[in-house]
Chains A and B, each alone.
Chain A
Amino acid sequence: MKMLFILAWRNLWRNKRRTLITASSVFFAVILALVAESMTKGSHEAMISNMVKLSTGYLQLQDSLYEDEPSVDHAFMYDDTLKQIIRQTSGIAYVVPRFESFMLAATEKSTRPVMLRGVDFEAENRLNDMGHKLLEGTSLEAGDQAVLLADGLAERLKMDVGDSIILVGQGFRGMSAAGIYPVKGIMKISLPRLNDQLIFMPLAATQQLFGAEERLTALLITPEEKEQTDLLAQQLRDQLDPKWFKVLTWKQMMPTLLQSLELDRASGMMIIYMLYLVVGFGILGTVLTMMLERQREFGILLSVGMKRSQLALITFVETVFISMIGVAAGLVGGFPVILYMHHHPIRFGEEMEAMFETYGMEAVMPFALDLQVFSSQAVVVLLITLVIGLYPVLKVFRMNILKAARN
């Protein structure tokens, strides 16, 4: 067996140039695929992270009826029992409580529907660093009876720091919710949809306004590992009574984002597959030439007593060796490129920067440094090679020894 492997290895270097050209094509394909895959994955991760932080969180705990009918009447009691369950569930980094509802906001001159979001600022800051987006005024303290306006909304209502805003809406279980609050600050919200309608208020003041003390419309849960989101959601579902609670992941709450990412990924994969197709044909070309050139040699080897299975193994191993050289070189060569790009992502110019920021994203193209990206490329190329490697195997098993030897 050792001799067969030695033979396969030495055969590779009989035509060094051809082997190197074939291995180089695999090498470049692996590097290109690595860069493309890492770039796609990196940008998707950044997009998900931004959307999740600014919008839904990775996981949400809600009242079982809230998703279908998002009303304050379906706010749930965040009591000690629930807090205990959350505390005892492993894998949770932190939680962000929210109480939010649509209301009518009025000033002396205009009225607009708004989204009032009652938040625990300390927890909210951990999730999305919202304090950094304060444009004017000061942030809110936990005990404040005041609001922060999104700058888009402030502009529409023509309000400034120090003005007062009237909020009117329906409170918990038929109560009316109404109050007048001073505007303590104006914030920049990266998502345009929210920037035109969002008002922040301390959680306690919001619960008081709605007459829903200790109640939340949503508890955002951040897992310690993002990859564990689905597992954590299932753990929580197992512990909570589905009659009263529902645990939703960001994928369930933002299906359109998921679909658009999958579409983008699919188009990226198409390009990568085409790249692999080209490489596959390159390897196949080498294998075909090798088979043609060595017909006589194969015939002789079979004549003198080599089994077809042994000869097939040699040709198969040769194909795999070429591919492995290319893949190994591609992974070794690709790693420093990805590592560098991960730490020094591509930065876009000012125009692009403005566009990215509109969507709450930093204007960079981050690269994912993920072992899975590397392993998946290696596996795909090796699979292609294994399929191509079957060709010489079939040829050897069908070979007419005499014809081959006379070739």
Chain B
Amino acid sequence: MAVIETIGLSKIYNETIVPVKALNEVNLAFEQGEFTSIVGPSGSGKTTLLNMLGGLDKPSSGSILINQTDITKLKERQLIDYRLRHIGFVFQSYNLIPVLTAVENVSFIMLLQKQPRKAIDQRAREILEQVGLGDRLNARPAQLSGGQQQRVAVARALASRPDFVLADEPTANLDTQSAFNLLDIMEKLNRDENITLIFSTHDQRVIERARRVITLVDGAVASDENHGS
């Protein structure tokens, strides 16, 4: 059964002035543990789709079912809770909290979820070890390289064991080696923890690793290919 399902998902910006159709009747389903890349040229609707799946933006029409719950019908307070408990986010610009250390950044979401302190500490350390930053637990973002910061961001997104992770161009600001390291880590976590990963990307390195590649053109699904494991 699909964990995530979009049904006739459309998004039109500036509906009253000059309408721009960012998404047009998108129907997709994502299974648990999938590693999917959403690709397409600029303006094809990748980020809009990710924002919709993340509950950050409302569709103009259609619905998004997450575990059979239509999140387009949730109120803002319910959406916040939904994001907190079910989704991990990885952003292009890392977006770590600059005044918190690596381990505090990773703990942050779990603290918001009010998980037990001991479990948070243990999980934060464990996942930072897994992303190869066991020796940088107390470093602040400014003391880390871009690649290291993105690994902390991945650790933050995965630490609370969300149902799925949305990653918006996560390798765009990384050099090749850092990008490969990050992809290795994400692939391993995807396999070990069975977390669904959905990337929006232009990066061929990511596309090659993905087991499923969805191509968007002008807001519509142009192709949906399974590359196998």
- A residues at B contact (CB < 8 Å): 3, 7, 10-11, 13-14, 296-297, 300-308, 310, 401-402, 405
Q: Does B100 contact A (CB under 8 A)?
A: yes
Q: Total A-B pairs in contact (CB under 8 Å)?
A: 53
The 5 closest A-B pairs by CB, nearest first: A305-B84, A10-B99, A300-B95, A305-B83, A3-B111
Binary interface profile of B, 37-70, with partner A (CB < 8 Å = 1, else 0)?
0000000000000010010110000000000000
Instruction: Compute how far the CA of A308 lies from the CA of B85 in the bound complex, rounded to whole angstroms.
Output: 16
A305 contacts which chain B residues (CB < 8 A)? Answer: 80-81, 83-85, 87, 109, 112-113
Instruction: Compute how far the CA of A401 lies from the CA of B51 in the bound complex, rounded to whole angstroms.
Output: 11
Secondary structure type dominating chain A contacts = helix
Which residue of chain A has the shortest Cβ distance to B85 in the bound complex? A305
Q: How far is the CB of A293 from chain B (nearest CB, A)?
A: 11
Instruction: Compute how far the CA of A308 lies from the CA of B75 in the bound complex, rounded to whole angstroms.
Output: 14
B95 contacts which chain A residues (CB < 8 A)? Answer: 296-297, 300
Q: How far is the CB of A313 from chain B (nearest CB, A)?
A: 13
Instruction: Compute how far the CA of A301 lies from the CA of B156 in the bound complex, rounded to whole angstroms.
Output: 12
Which of B56, B87, B109, B113 has the largest count of A CB atoms less than 10 A from its CB?
B56
User: Interface extent on B, as a size class?
Assistant: 20 to 34
Instruction: Compute how far the CA of A10 lies from the CA of B142 in the bound complex, rounded to whole angstroms.
Output: 14
Given A305-B83, A402-B56, check contact A10 B89 (CB 8 Å).
no
Binary interface profile of B, 67-80, with partner A (CB < 8 Å = 1, else 0)?
00000000001001
A7 contacts which chain B residues (CB < 8 A)? Answer: 97, 99-100
A13 contacts which chain B residues (CB < 8 A)? Answer: 99
Q: Does B91 contact A (CB under 8 A)?
A: yes
Instruction: Compute how far the CA of A7 lies from the CA of B98 in the bound complex, rounded to whole angstroms.
Output: 10
Instruction: Compute how far the CA of A305 lies from the CA of B83 in the bound complex, rounded to whole angstroms.
Output: 5
Q: Give 13 pairs: A residue, B residue, CB < 8 Å, sorted on A.
A: A3-B111, A7-B99, A7-B100, A10-B100, A14-B99, A296-B95, A303-B56, A303-B89, A304-B109, A305-B87, A305-B109, A305-B112, A401-B56
Instruction: Compute how far the CA of A14 lies from the CA of B56 in the bound complex, rounded to whole angstroms.
Output: 28
Q: Are B97 and A297 in contact (CB under 8 A)?
A: yes
Extra A-B contacts (13), CB below 8 Å, given A300-B91, A305-B87? A3-B108, A3-B111, A7-B100, A11-B99, A297-B95, A300-B89, A303-B89, A304-B109, A305-B113, A306-B112, A307-B112, A308-B80, A402-B57
Which residue of chain B has the shortest Cβ distance to A1 in the bound complex? B111
Instruction: Compute how far the CA of A401 lies from the CA of B57 in the bound complex, rounded to whole angstroms.
Output: 9
B residues 95-147 touching A (CB-CB < 8 Å): 95, 97-100, 104, 108-109, 111-113
Instruction: Compute how far the CA of A306 lies from the CA of B109 in the bound complex, rounded to whole angstroms.
Output: 8
A405 contacts which chain B residues (CB < 8 A)? Answer: 56
Which residue of chain A has the shortest Cβ distance to B76 in the bound complex? A308
Instruction: Compute how far the CA of A310 lies from the CA of B80 in the bound complex, rounded to whole angstroms.
Output: 12
Instruction: Compute how far the CA of A308 lies from the CA of B109 in the bound complex, rounded to whole angstroms.
Output: 14
Q: How far is the CB of A322 from chain B (nearest CB, A)?
A: 15
Instruction: Compute how far the CA of A14 lies from the CA of B80 in the bound complex, rounded to whole angstroms.
Output: 27
Q: How far is the CB of A32 from chain B (nearest CB, A)?
A: 33
B83 partner, pick from A3, A304, A308, beta carbons under 8 A: A304
B77 contacts which chain A residues (CB < 8 A)? Answer: 307
Binary interface profile of B, 150-176, with partner A (CB < 8 Å = 1, else 0)?
000000100000000000000000000
Given A7-B97, A297-B95, check contact A307 B56 (CB 8 Å).
no
A307 contacts which chain B residues (CB < 8 A)? Answer: 77, 80, 112
A308 contacts which chain B residues (CB < 8 A)? Answer: 80
A302 partner, pick from B51, B80, B91, B104, beta carbons under 8 A: B80
Which residue of chain A has the shortest Cβ distance to B113 in the bound complex? A305
Q: How far is the CB of B95 from chain A (nearest CB, A)?
A: 4
B108 contacts which chain A residues (CB < 8 A)? Answer: 3, 304
Q: How far is the CB of A298 from chain B (nearest CB, A)?
A: 11
